[in-house]
Amino acid sequence: MEIDFNEYQLRCELHGHEDDVRGICVCGNDGIATSSRDQTVRFWSLDSSDKRKITCSKILLGHSSFVGPLVWISPNQEFPQGGIVSGGMDTLVLVWDLETVEKVHTLQGHKLQVTAIALDDNGDIISSSVDCTLRRWRNGQSVETWEAHKAPIQAVIKLPSGEIVTGSSDTTLKLWKGKTCLHTFDGHADTVRGLAVMPGLGILSASHDGSLRLWAVSGEVLMEMVGHTAIVYSVDSHTSGLIVSGSEDRFAKIWKDGVCVQSIEHPGCVWDAKFLENGDIVTACSDGTVRIWTVHQDTVADQLELDLFASQLSQYKASRKRVGGLKLEELPDLDSLKIPGTSDGQTKIVREGDNGVAYAWNMSEQKWDKIGEVVDGPEESSRPFHDGAQYDYVFDVDIGDGMPIRKLPYNRSDNPYDVADKWLLKESLPLSFREQIVQFILQNTGQKDITFDASFCDPYTGSNAYVPGQSSYVSDISAKHTFKHIPKKGMLVFDAAQFDGILKKITEFNNALLSDQETHNLSLTEPDVSRLCSVIKTLKDTSYYHSSKFPDSDIALLLNLLQSWPIGMIFPVIDLLRMVVLHPDGATKLHKHFEAKNDILTEVIKKVTANPAIPANLLTSIRTIVNLFKNSCYYNWLQKHCSEILDAFSSCSSSSNKNLHLSYSTLILNYTVLLIESKDQEGQSQVLSAALEIVENENVEGGSKFRTLVAIGSLMLEGLVKKIALDFDVLNVAKAAKGSKEAKIAEVGSDIEVLTRQS
């Protein structure tokens, strides 16, 4: 079905903000207001000399941190030229008079960041906050406040009928008449970040789960729009029926009748997108620029401006793109091929447009022969670290014979023979392993048919290293299949923590409890806060883990917070416990408390996984369970509760949250190791079922899929549940994995396929 639609083109760019542009407010036909991380609000007016252009006419200064939500007050007796209401990270709501460019009211009351603002039919200001509350303001005073959700509120809008709708990190929308909740909308799998009215139809929502939804006011889902590949921050509609959304994936997408009809790429995250009355679209980008897009040919930017934007976009993409272990922009250009090579077969990668192209030196003809385009390496943001340096790959190498796993860092631009030589010397391993290490590198990086200089002289002995083609005294390769990734040995843990952030969040929540008369008795005392600081200090000092101790009272304090604090506030406490269980004394003392308190841990799991589950609670609690596997004193408990733990967190397999996927797959992998060791066939079958469920989810990314496949392969290799795996048609799972572009997933898929054929 063809959809009648005219594509949007750039109309103009608005420059002035010095940091991310976070919010947009369309001020009728008078102009546009924008907010920014640079702590300012800017008002933009139509340029009378050029209808394509809009210029900044006013700057509103008053917030002490980044500014987010904005709302327009139409001109009235109090505001002859209209007004702006802004909310910020500084917890303030400010009311501005555009005629005087002055603050009229400073509204204080929220305890945490203000996330959204709306005006009701009476002119009251409704604000929402990360503190989980809605506040109603009238004439500069707070007249009403209530806890609207059990998790941070991210969005609020007013319907034409007068009701208020909120969206929250608890994944729900709520419809309000006054302080009464008329309906709760369930459906999104993650935070509801943006809301908008769809005239005559209902409510639009944008979510961290990557989707948009159109809801009837009755709560029925009328339409779901899927197309973004990351968090969707904003959504807006136009009387024409068009919808626009902005996302972390750098695209503003335009939708018609539920179909994405255009994707407008930006050189950064699109925080907000709004329609003007004439159908033009305004976008707010993390590059600090506001852009207006139009379908009206008479207002499209001139060719020079269009070319400039295209160039800017290309440069941004090139700055993020990596080829051969190097940033594309750092590669030499074609002029470098004017310099002759020094040896036959010498390779060189040069920049050609937006790609890296490999050339090899032809000594006999004295020229560079083109080999072909080089496959892109990982982006900078995803490249792993090792010993403080960033690499394209950091491999886990299992030497076997009970030896610890070794880390092998590698960049695609490196000579694998050089890397192998240096690594073997560093790890005090026999140089006879050289060719095996080189082949391991080539297979796991997808580099094949590349000729390298294989000469080497041991700097300590002066002897030559193993050379491919020569005999080796080590061992002959057995005809028996050697599994690359299975069985899995040892437990994985989540051992990185932002302790300062954890303490800050606990302090913020405690201040919120203190300020409310109803929850004052739940708050921490100053001595309690000092004890938490002491716990964190002990956890930070890893060099003394062998000797440092925790007082029983500190562990009891943490467990008491788990039981007494509101469900929306316990995730930083869980996160702190996640690290305590990695401390030898902390793990032992927690175990004693768990036994004495009739299994408080099971109660917490039930509490955090009850619908609607808060993603932050799910993530921190599942990672805490994962970390329990480090200490054998928890093995009996983990085995006993295997079924209920897997059931409790089973929703993670269908979630769109990548962090939950990785955590859940790690839980499955640790359970695999434990249950193979204990020869628990019933438990193994439960883990296998959970693993197959998550590996078949197309949205699960490489790292999570790899861990789950390793679990399946390890369980099959053990043999107790191999028949069950075959009944579940695991061969098709293996074949699908073998077709992956990620080498390690393809390899473990091959391992599983071999297992299906073995008797």
* Mean pLDDT along residues 361-386: 67
**Class of the CATH-defined domain 499-758:** mainly alpha
Question: What confidence category does residue 403 fall into, taking pLDDT thresholds of 50, 70 and 90?
Answer: low
CATH 3.10.20.870: which residues of the chain?
398-445
CATH 1.25.10.10: which residues of the chain?
499-758
The pLDDT tens digits for 619-629 are: 999 999 999 99
Residue type, 158: K
- Greater confidence (611 vs 707) lies with 707
Question: What confidence category does residue 465 fall into, taking pLDDT thresholds of 50, 70 and 90?
Answer: very low
* Mean pLDDT along residues 10-31: 92
Per-residue pLDDT for 751 more than 80?
yes
The pLDDT tens digits for 182-203 are: 999 999 988 899 999 999 899 9
**What's the rounded Cα separation, in Å, for the pair 133 and 140?**
18
* Mean pLDDT along residues 645-660: 84
**What's the rounded Cα separation, in Å, for the pair 670 and 694?**
15
What lies within 8 Å, CB to CB, of 346 at 6+ separation is 360, 361
Closest CA to 350 of 380, 377, 370, 378: 370
CATH 2.130.10.10: which residues of the chain?
17-319
Best-predicted range by mean pLDDT (95-109, 360-374, 536-550): 95-109
Check residue 145 and give its pLDDT.
Answer: 94
Question: What confidence category does residue 292 fall into, taking pLDDT thresholds of 50, 70 and 90?
Answer: very high
Lowest model confidence (mean pLDDT) among 132-146, 233-247, 429-443: 429-443
Lowest model confidence (mean pLDDT) among 19-33, 47-61, 372-386, 568-582: 372-386
* Mean pLDDT along residues 735-744: 82
Best-predicted range by mean pLDDT (266-270, 329-333, 374-378, 747-751): 266-270
What lies within 8 Å, CB to CB, of 457 at 6+ separation is 463, 464, 465
- CATH 3.40.640.10 for domain 398-445, yes or no, is no
Question: What confidence category does residue 304 fall into, taking pLDDT thresholds of 50, 70 and 90?
Answer: very high
* φ and ψ at residue 738, rounded to 5 degrees: -60, -25
* φ and ψ at residue 115, rounded to 5 degrees: -105, -25
Per-residue pLDDT for 389 more than 80?
no
Closest CA to 715 of 748, 745, 672: 672
Element (H, E) at 100: none
Q: What are the angstrom distances between the C-alpha of 466 and each of 368, 435, 452, 482, 724?
A: 31, 7, 14, 21, 44
Question: What confidence category does residue 341 fall into, taking pLDDT thresholds of 50, 70 and 90?
Answer: confident
Structural contact between residues 180 and 186, judged by C-beta atoms closer than 8 angstroms: no
Check residue 477 and give its pLDDT.
Answer: 29
Per-residue pLDDT for 326 more than 70?
no
Per-residue pLDDT for 597 more than 70?
no
Closest CA to 288 of 267, 310, 263: 267
**What's the rounded Cα separation, in Å, for the pair 698 and 681?**
28
Strand partners, 372: 358
Question: What confidence category does residue 680 fall into, taking pLDDT thresholds of 50, 70 and 90?
Answer: confident
Per-residue pLDDT for 260 more than 70?
yes
Question: What confidence category does residue 400 fall into, taking pLDDT thresholds of 50, 70 and 90?
Answer: low
Check residue 598 and give its pLDDT.
Answer: 60
**What's the rounded Cα separation, in Å, for the pair 44 and 58?**
7
Check residue 430 and give its pLDDT.
Answer: 74
Question: What confidence category does residue 694 fall into, taking pLDDT thresholds of 50, 70 and 90?
Answer: confident
Instruction: Give the residue ranges of DSSP H helices in 526-657.
Output: 526-540, 552-564, 571-580, 584-596, 600-609, 615-628, 635-640, 642-648
The fold of 17-319 is Methylamine Dehydrogenase; Chain H (2.130.10)
* Mean pLDDT along residues 44-69: 85
Question: What confidence category does residue 388 fall into, taking pLDDT thresholds of 50, 70 and 90?
Answer: low
Cis amide linkage into residue 75, ω under 30° from 0: no
- Greater confidence (726 vs 490) lies with 490
Global pTM value: 0.49
Per-residue pLDDT for 375 more than 90?
no
Structural contact between residues 657 and 169, judged by C-beta atoms closer than 8 angstroms: no
What lies within 8 Å, CB to CB, of 244 at 6+ separation is 235, 236, 237, 238, 252, 253, 254, 255, 273, 274, 275, 281
* Mean pLDDT along residues 313-318: 81
Check residue 601 and give its pLDDT.
Answer: 82
Strand partners, 25: 33
Q: Report the number of secondary-structure helices (H) and strands (E) in the chain.
A: 18, 38
Check residue 487 and give its pLDDT.
Answer: 84
Check residue 603 and give its pLDDT.
Answer: 85
Check residue 80 and give its pLDDT.
Answer: 92
Check residue 448 and give its pLDDT.
Answer: 54
Please give the angle made by the CA atoms of 480, 486 and 488, to the nearest 5 degrees: 145
Pairing status of strand 83-88 against strand 270-275: unpaired
Check residue 719 and give its pLDDT.
Answer: 78
Three-state DSSP class for residue 360: strand
Per-residue pLDDT for 391 more than 70?
yes
Percent of the chain with pLDDT over 90: 40
Average pLDDT over the chain, rounded to an integer: 84
**What's the rounded Cα separation, in Å, for the pair 442 and 393?**
12
Residue by residue, DSSP assigns 198-265 as ETTTEEEEEETTSEEEEE-TTS-EEEEEE--SS-EEEEEE-TTS-EEEEETTSEEEEEETTEEEEEEE
